[in-house]
Amino acid sequence: MVLYILSVHVGPAEATFLPLSTESRWITNGYGKRVKLACINWPSHLEPVLAEGLDKQLAYSISARVRLMGFNCVRFTWPLELPLNETLGNLTVKQSFQRLGLKESLAGIEVHNPWIVDLPLMTAYEEMLAVMERKGLMVILDNHVTTPGWCCGLNDGNGFFGDEYFDPKMWIKGLMKMARMAQKFPNVIGMSLRNELRGPKSNVDDWYKHMEQGAEAVHSENPNVLVILSGMSFDKDFSFLHNRPVNISFSNKLVFELHWYSFSNGNAWKTGDSNKLCGQITASMMDSAGFLAKEKGYPIFVSEFGVDMAGKNVGDNKFLSCFMAAAAEQDWDYAVWALPGSYYFRQGTKDMDESYGLMNHNWTAVRNITTLKRINALRLPFRGPGWNRTIQHKVIFHPLTGLCVEKRPVKGPLRLMPCQMSQMWTYTANKTLEITGTHYVLGSSGKAEKMVPLTVSLPHQKATQWDMVSDSKLHLATKAEDGSELCLDVDRYGLVITNKCKCMDGGDPNCDPASQWFKLVNSTMV
């Protein structure tokens, strides 16, 4: 018999009763209602082996800010040596920082979190779980590396079973110890078995052998937690599961994790055509990993994605709009990389800045509030068990802003609004966009830079047709008066207009089509 022993608030007027399970491709609570994981990565696997940022702010303040930023869970990383190497695990926080010469960071911890300074590293890790529990945060324990340090390199000895620092037997032992420890913390809802499998020793047979053993070991020690499996090639590839399923003895606990960054495809996003790249890369990602939800009925947890928060990385900016379209359409659970604005010690550098960090360097404020708001558009479910508040319909999602097309009152202009306020749309077999349950359809003036009207669809009239065009399949296009194509677009005031379709020929890699990208997303929310 399973006891539901903790209530964690994860959204407006919603409560999650733990532990969590899976129902087909969804993660659900004790009442069978979908819980969407909206997580942030909080590293604790680098050389000091302490949750980052405790030299800058109170642990409780950081955890509270995570909630205020809209996240309901933390992916909390750990090195395998923490539970296995007693010499390391028994070092106090003070000793750990002293051995690395981190005097300034230690002084900051003594100011902001003096209670943790004399705790052994293993105890300090557990105390941070308690801090997050008190702040209502769910936690996923992620075995990031073996030896404490930055991850990940192709030949760093941490990549695959049998590597220099990756003994499968010791890994199983470490997973079991952490799973037992996690029984004390009901907010620990999942365990990610190993981060970013990679390297020259990678092979499918060993993946099945050891991942199945790891899954069974974790479940035997702690049957409450979700068991999260990573793929190969830096958590990008599960294609081998198309025809050969995982063989485990338990059910309703298995989740697969995916990582997706702009640099997952080299420099393609920096120099390539956005429409072609988005179409091709999304299709490839669906074939290598997305099929697990769509065809096999398993939840997908995008446990790492992120961008340079300065907003000046061209490749990241182009990538994020594409990612947002896919993540909204597939309604994936996710974890942003990363929380830290800085690290105590990373790759030989003290107090190193994290440009992908949501916090600024001193952890006093959000680094890029616009990007955070955009990502938060993914926080609430579009659909899933227990979220069937209305009939299934479409929302017209705008990946560049994270907003949706809204039309209230009917005589007012079409504009972008938060998706929970979105209009319900139906995309008909005749390629018209109709406000569900009415005769109003999305029209067109037939001219560029004009607001998009709603018109009444009558049996004897031909309504405006909208096609999903371009290689990205993210442009909604109709015909102009001269027969050319006009695309939905957004002006600087957030009003929806038609404009000449841009970046359609793929000849200019610097052309940015993102303002004209829209995704028709299935939803049962209003």
Q: Report the distance separating Cα 8 and Cα 133, nearest Å.
A: 9
Among residues 491, 334, 488, 493, which one has the least CA distance to residue 425?
A: 488
| In the block, residue with structure tokens 């020690």 | 221
pLDDT in the model for residue 10: 41
Tokens of 294: 């769509």
Q: Are strands 393-398 and 403-406 parallel, antiparallel or unpaired?
A: antiparallel
How many residues are recorded in the chain? 526
Positions in the chain short of pLDDT 50: 1-15
pLDDT in the model for residue 1: 28
pLDDT digits (tens, 9 = 90+) for 4-13: 333 344 443 3
**In 3-state terms, the chain is what percent helix, strand and coil (to 5)?**
30, 25, 45
pLDDT digits (tens, 9 = 90+) for 324-338: 999 999 999 999 999
Contact 359, 54 (CB under 8 A): no
Q: Report the distance separating Cα 251 and Cα 118, nearest Å.
A: 42
DSSP 517: B
pLDDT digits (tens, 9 = 90+) for 364-420: 999 999 999 999 999 999 999 998 877 899 999 999 999 999 876 666 789 999 998
pTM here is 0.95
Contact 230, 193 (CB under 8 A): yes
pLDDT in the model for residue 451: 87
Contact 398, 417 (CB under 8 A): no
Tokens of 315: 């490749």
Contact 232, 194 (CB under 8 A): no
Contact 278, 325 (CB under 8 A): yes
pLDDT in the model for residue 452: 87
pLDDT in the model for residue 460: 56
